[in-house]
Structure 1
């Protein structure tokens, strides 16, 4: 029987991606906040990713570093926090309560239970000891305003205590209490990452007391996050949203129902979901190219990626944990990868021949990236085979 549901072709999805993700030149954004709001969240596991992701999408290619620094640390319109899949994201400040209540509260509960279990299993430390240390740490941070883990340990020496993390697994290692405790307090929204030490590529952060967030009913928060995500990534499958959020399938289904998501037929025969007022076609933008960083929110936005990424290219573009490296795009498809030479100049390799028009656009994007990086060399935290080969 013929389906009566609306159909969303792969070409329509690629047009939406170009416009809604600010990748087509005519759709580029004016501010870092506009980029973050349009994409729902920016992956922040690798600190440089958020700057590179914004730089690829700003109309003014010279301003991503200043724009992100101002938004994160002066205006506080963006905040770095743990969120979906226990991953660090940069989100618009107004969305922080939604992420916290829909996702991070549950992450924090698991994180605390795991830390207590590991502390008590391999040492004489216990839950009461941990509670005393964290209150002392928060008091020291309140006095200082901002501090690094080392500075806090100078005031609270028990933060230097070490314990075995993930005993009996491939990840077994010794960690300091400060590393895990500050992360736990971050997931509980008691502390927040402040300015990094060094440049914008640094992964060492100062910490500050976090502003209080309103506590939302979890189901209401999940519906709000699902709505924001569908605005940016719809049409998308139930499996896509389940993967992106890390929620239970039952919670995903309830959230889709709460926002009255409409089912649509996708080209691969699966069922996608869009918001009820979002079934109209998108006007095709002019041809475009883009250089996106490792862990960029666009390629990491969906679990099923065949409509924009050839499965045969996955081994070259992803690491063993499923993290995507830096990618070259042409008209909504991943066609290659890029890296930087030791002097900072971008270099790339295409995995398919997109034609002469694409080659010219790719050269222009490489020049644009090289200009605003201004000599800064960025090495992705998660290395992929093709990025390693290109940067050698």
Structure 2
């Protein structure tokens, strides 16, 4: 069988289309849950950035309020710990897959010192206590701590974890584990206090869940390698290689050539566009899924963009401007009431092309619409640092 060879331009065009970032030819997403499913989660460590990631992929007129309604009213989205152990918005319907897959990733070395760390048995006990405590109403951290101590013992509440000039109770080192096992998710804030709730989910079998997650990842961001998948998931690379080998042996994924090197796609998913590169301007917020997942990174951040729009090689710390599918600027927004001052800093000449200025203005207006505000655009130097 002749191996399919894929160029960066072809891969990038298909990824943009499947992400809803390629204009009229992109999928017509019907809801925030559809969007987050296609993205494989919207990074929401900064919730406003996650809301914007989702809203910008939906039709004009969609705002952050629509995303919040899906999250807190309709509950078609869930805020929880997703890939890389970071907070994400995930489709509630996909939680069995996510929890099954995330709980099947081999645990890395325990980073906590001996006097702080919990044993595997204690971790299991805490997760069971979390599941039981959150079976009712959402609880704040302090309320959940009391409920866990009542069910396990005082050791779980010992304030031994150094954290932000404070000390957290011992059980909190199992927070991510509890989320990945389907025992915990975020509830609506109570004033300024975070709450946790039960997602009410039973994880899928780990093998089946990983099968589904790898193929969903490759559909969205392929061609990709096991190392790309491992980095995206914050999982061991050797383990990811074994997962891909098993899926290849089962005929679930197949190898293609990608920029001269072997990579993988879902079996049979080898159709790529032959047309010219995608056209247009897009503004993407902090830690947008597209810039996090797309590889090779030096092609997405070409030339000077690699140094200016990345922070020590890490994507997402700067909101970026895509021009024709690659990073050609960074931007920053400052809100004052209903007004948003947007500063866009071009990188290279792409934003000065004939069509880009009007496209840029339209995109800034779309960002303001999604954030329920009015925009003022300035083209100039972004003076704030990463993640500001």
Fold similarity call, TM over 0.5: yes
Aligned to 1:382: none
Deviation at 1:270, TM superposition (A): 1.5
- Say which of 227, 238, 263 aligns to 1:239: 227
Find out whether 1:121 has 2:110 as its counterpart. no
Match of 2:86 in 1: 87
Q: In the alignment, what sits opposite 2:378? A: none
Question: Which of 342, 355, 359 is 1:361 aligned to?
Answer: 359
Distance between the aligned counterparts of 2:121 and 2:244, measured in 1? 36
Structure 1 vs Structure 2 CA RMSD = 3.6
Q: Structure 1 CA distance, aligned partners of 2:46 and 2:251?
A: 32
Taking a change above 3 Å as real, the CA distance of residues 279 and 192 of structure 1, as seen in their structure-2 partners, is same
Matched with 1:279 is 270
How far does residue 228 in structure 1 lie from its aligned partner after superposition?
Answer: 0.9
Point out the more displaced range, 329-338 or 243-252. 243-252
> 1:306 aligns to what SS in structure 2?
helix
Equivalent residue, structure 2, for 1:329: 322
2: distance between equivalents of 1:156 and 1:165? 20
CA distance in structure 1 between the aligned counterparts of 2:128 and 2:177, rounded to whole angstroms: 13
Match of 1:15 in 2: 13
Equivalent residue number for residue 228 of structure 1:
216
CA displacement, residues 200-238 of structure 1 (integer Å, 9 cap, x when unaligned): xx8x5311123131431x232211111111111122233
Relative to the length of structure 2, the TM-score reads 0.80
User: Matched residue pairs, number?
Assistant: 365
Report the Cα distance in structure 2 between the residues aligned to 1:153 and 1:389, rounded to whole angstroms.
Answer: 36
- Cα gap change, 1:30/1:210 in structure 2, threshold over 3 Å: closer, same or farther? closer
**Structure 1 spans left out of the alignment, 5+ residues:** 378-384
Structure 2 residue matching 1:193: 3-state secondary structure: strand
Partner of 1:264: 256
Taking the aligned partners of 2:165 and 2:271, their CA distance within structure 1 comes to 51
- CA distance in 2 between counterparts of 1:67 and 1:340 reads 21
Answering whether residue 204 of structure 2 is matched by residue 215 of structure 1, we say: yes
Q: 2:343 aligns with which of 341, 347, 350?
A: 347
Following TM superposition, by how much is the alpha carbon of 1:304 offset from its aligned partner in structure 2, in angstroms?
Answer: 2.1
SS of the residue aligned with 2:252? coil
Q: What residue ranges of structure 2 are gaps of 5+ in the alignment?
A: 376-380
In structure 2, the residue corresponding to 1:299 is in which secondary structure? Answer: helix
| Contact persistence 2:77–2:89 (CA under 8 A) | yes
| Kept in 1: contact 2:304–2:347 (CA 8 A) | no
**Aligned match of 1:380:** none
* CA distances 1:54-96 after superposition (whole Å, capped 9, x unpaired): 1221113433x23222322233322233333333332222322
SS of match in other structure, 1:222: helix
Q: Which of 142, 146, 150 is the aligned partner of 2:138?
A: 146
Q: What is the match of residue 173 of structure 2? A: 180
Name whichever structure is richer in strand by fraction. 2
